[in-house]
């Protein structure tokens, strides 16, 4: 075993260095897309925080999913977050596997260009949607009687811009249609389905996406419509970006570099 490690370690190091050189070159060409996608995550967070000021708690809306799926309870709300965190960090680690493994079907920078482009479009649609109509939040901290259901009028612009991170992100209200968790989940699953190589993981990822959808509803973090709209919106956005946009931008997202 020590001999094996001694012989393979330099090869692994050469692989990492080689991939790093290629990825840095691609990053130099596409850094504006990556940076723009990252900046928009703050804009999306700012919009979600802003709609909380407009939120008016009220009775829960009639929901078919609530009638069919038993409520987990406030003490078990962490289950859906745990599964989402597993999916999120597993995907992030997978996107960097070309640095280590010989087999690869994408460049990490170009993959993240695609993911961020799809993500930004979905989030733009989400912002327009939840600002169009504010629904009474079904989450426990958004219900009538909760001190977190309403935000006091901000005393300064800085208070709004800071978005009360991370508390403001965890205990937000009003940004319902459609589920942000499902945007990330479905986008990651669709990306792995297209560029991943292990069939069992693809099938398991879709199963976990379905389970995550049910857990979000059971945790009363979203109405069923928020999850349903996310399922078809994310799929349509990915299809549109891959197939319909002409020119350089479409080529970049469709990985014509390969």
Residue of 107, 141, 181, 193 marked catalytic: 181
Q: DSSP string of 41-69? A: HHHHHHHHHHHHTT----PPPP-HHHHHS
Residue of 49, 55, 107, 222 marked catalytic: 222
Verify whether residue 226 is a known catalytic residue. yes
Helices (H), ranges, the chain: 2-52, 64-68, 78-95, 108-132, 157-161, 167-170, 180-195, 199-218, 224-243, 247-253
Verify whether residue 181 is a known catalytic residue. yes
Residue of 52, 55, 107, 226 marked catalytic: 226
Kindly calculate the radius of gyration of the chain based on its CA atoms and give it in whole angstroms: 21
How far, in Å, CA of 53 to CA of 3, rounded?
A: 63
243 near 103, Cβ under 8 Å? no
- What residues act catalytically? 181, 222, 226
């Amino acid at each position: 075993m020590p001999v094996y490690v001694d012989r393979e370690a330099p090869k692994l190091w050469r692989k990492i260095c080689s991939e790093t050189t290629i990825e840095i070159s691609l990053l130099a060409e596409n850094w504006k897309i990556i940076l723009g996608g990252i900046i928009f995550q703050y804009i999306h967070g700012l919009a979600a925080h802003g709609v909380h000021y407009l939120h008016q708690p009220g009775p829960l809306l009639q929901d078919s999913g609530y009638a069919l799926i038993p409520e987990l309870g406030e003490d078990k709300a962490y289950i859906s977050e745990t599964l989402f965190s597993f999916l999120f960090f597993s995907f992030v680690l997978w996107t960097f596997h070309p640095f280590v493994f010989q087999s690869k079907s994408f460049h990490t920078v170009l993959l993240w260009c695609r993911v961020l482009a799809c993500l930004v479009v979905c989030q733009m649609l989400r912002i327009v949607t939840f600002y169009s109509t504010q629904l009474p939040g079904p989450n426990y901290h958004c219900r009538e009687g909760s001190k977190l259901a309403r935000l006091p009028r901000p005393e300064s612009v800085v208070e709004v811009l800071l978005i009360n991170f991370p508390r403001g992100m965890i205990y937000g209200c009003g940004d319902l249609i459609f589920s942000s968790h499902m945007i990330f989940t479905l986008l990651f699953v669709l990306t792995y389905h297209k560029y991943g190589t292990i069939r069992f993981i693809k099938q398991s990822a879709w199963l976990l996406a379905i389970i995550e959808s049910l857990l979000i509803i059971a945790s009363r973090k979203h109405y069923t419509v928020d999850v349903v709209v996310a399922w078809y919106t994310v799929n349509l956005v990915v299809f549109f970006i891959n197939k319909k946009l002409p020119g350089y931008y479409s080529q970049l997202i469709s990985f014509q570099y390969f």
